[in-house]
Each structure stands twice: as C-alpha cells, then as structure tokens.
Amino acid sequence: MATVLVVEDDDKIGRTLETALTSNGHQAAWHRTGGNALQAAEHSEFDLVLLDLGLPDIDGIDVCRGLKQRQPRTVVVILTARDEEMDVIVGLESGADDYLVKPFRMTELLARVRAHLRRAEPPGTDTAPATYTSGDLVVDCQRRRAAVRDRELNLRPKEFDLLARLLADAGTALSRTQLMADVWDENWHGPTKTLDVHISAVRQRLSDSANETEPRGQVPVITTLRGHGYRLDPPGPC
C-alpha cells in the first residue's frame, strides 16, 4: 500500500482518481488547490503525487518545486491537459519524474503508478548489485546514494535510476528504447524527450560534484550515440 497525494481541482477527475487509487489498495489524499497540497506535504509523507498543472491558486510547476523541496524522494507525476512539449520539459526540470497527458486511461495511470512505486522500493538483494564504482563516483543502490568522493550528487529518483542503469552496463551502447523501458515503464509509449532531460540533468550533477572536489573528481562520461541512445564510459586517464 502506498500513500498517494492527488492534486486536482476538477471534481470529476479528482474523485475518479481517489476512487481508483483506494480500490487498488492505496491510501489517497485529495486536495483541490496547490496551497492545500503543499500544506498537506508539511505534515504527511507521500510516496507519490499526481499533480494537475492547471490549478486555481498556484501554478502546478511551482507546486511541483515546493513538493520536491519538502519531500525530495516523493515521485511526482504531472497530469497536464496542455499537450505542450515546453510545459512537460519545464515540469520535468522542476523535479517531476513523469507525466501523463489528459485525457488518459485509468488503467494506464494505475500501471504507471505501480511501476513508479515498485522502483521506489529499495532494490532487493537479488536485483541490482549493491554498489557501482566508476572513477571517483560511487553509487550505492541499497542506500540510493550517489557521491563523488563523498560529495553527494542529490539526484532525483529517476536520475538515480538512470545513472544506476547506465553504470550496470558501463561501456555498452544502450538504446533509447531500452533505457526508457528499464528506467520508466515497460509500457512507455510517450515522447522520449523525458530521457534527454534526465540525461542532461545527470551529466550536470556529475560535473558539478566533480568540480566541487579538490582535486577535481574523476567521473564517468555519458556519451550520446546519435540515432541510438547512450553509453557510459569510465573516466579517461588524466
């Protein structure tokens, strides 16, 4: 069972989401305004948030930032009627982990929720190895901690999963389709812009952490393979 925060001002959608989540065994808290949602996040921990972008009081993007500040480990899924690539990109850059464009099928939403919650669980001992190392970068999957010489990268959940996935097959070309399927959802059919946004965030965090250490930390490089995907290469010799 997971605790899910629903932020949606549309009565019909809000009620449908609340009912669907509850009947799937989750605990749902529904708020109609961004203000109330942020207040709720002060008092209760949520595993996942379904966040409408068009809210009556605060812009959904700002609500997303506020939620992530309060609860960095919460998975935020944006629900948007604005099928605008820009909104989605801004949403993902403001910390959201995923998005769905309205109208969506409830079965799709529930599948997405399930996939996120499964990945948010600490990995079992029979899944990923506990730790990956590349140069000065250490990624501890058990503790979900990524650091360059003890300087934490502060990755968002999907960024962490993506880095761990790349490290698991370091030096190997991974296709976009494979990465999307492994890190997001096996049924992912949406735009794959999400992947590029997350890759660029991971690159940024790697280089920021490397720059903060003295001497500069040695970190792996994520190479773009045009028309195919990405490959993580270990840091080269100085």
* Site for Ca ion contains 108 (CB under 5 A): no
Number of residues engaging Ca ion in binding (CB under 5 A)? 3
- For residues 37 to 66, the per-residue mask of contacts with Ca ion, x marking binding by CB under 5 A and - elsewhere, is ---------------x-x------------
Whole-number minimum distance, CB 87 to Ca ion, in Å? 13
CA-based radius of gyration for the chain: 18
Whole-number minimum distance, CB 55 to Ca ion, in Å? 6
Whole-number minimum distance, CB 54 to Ca ion, in Å? 4
* Site for Ca ion contains 9 (CB under 5 A): yes
Residue 1 to residues 14, 68, 152, Cα–Cα distance (Å) = 19, 21, 30
Residue/partner pairs of 33-36 with CB below 8 Å, 24 or more apart:
33/7, 33/9, 33/57, 33/58, 34/7, 34/58, 34/59, 34/60, 34/62, 34/63, 34/66
Choose the binding region for Ca ion from 8-16, 41-49, 84-92, 193-201 (rule: CB under 5 A). 8-16
Nearer to Ca ion, 58 or 221 (CB): 58
**Three-state SS annotation for 50-111:** EEECCCCCCCHHHHHHHHHHHCCCCEEEEEECCCCHHHHHHHHHCCCCEEEECCCCHHHHHH
Sheet holding 145-148, edge to edge: 131-134, 137-140, 145-148, 151-152
Choose the binding region for Ca ion from 1-9, 88-96, 209-217, 222-230 (rule: CB under 5 A). 1-9
Whole-number minimum distance, CB 58 to Ca ion, in Å? 12
* Site for Ca ion contains 234 (CB under 5 A): no
Whole-number minimum distance, CB 23 to Ca ion, in Å? 23
* Site for Ca ion contains 196 (CB under 5 A): no
Whole-number minimum distance, CB 17 to Ca ion, in Å? 12
Place of tokens 């001497």: 215
Closest chain position to Ca ion (CB): 54
Binding stretches for Ca ion (CB under 5 A):
9, 52, 54
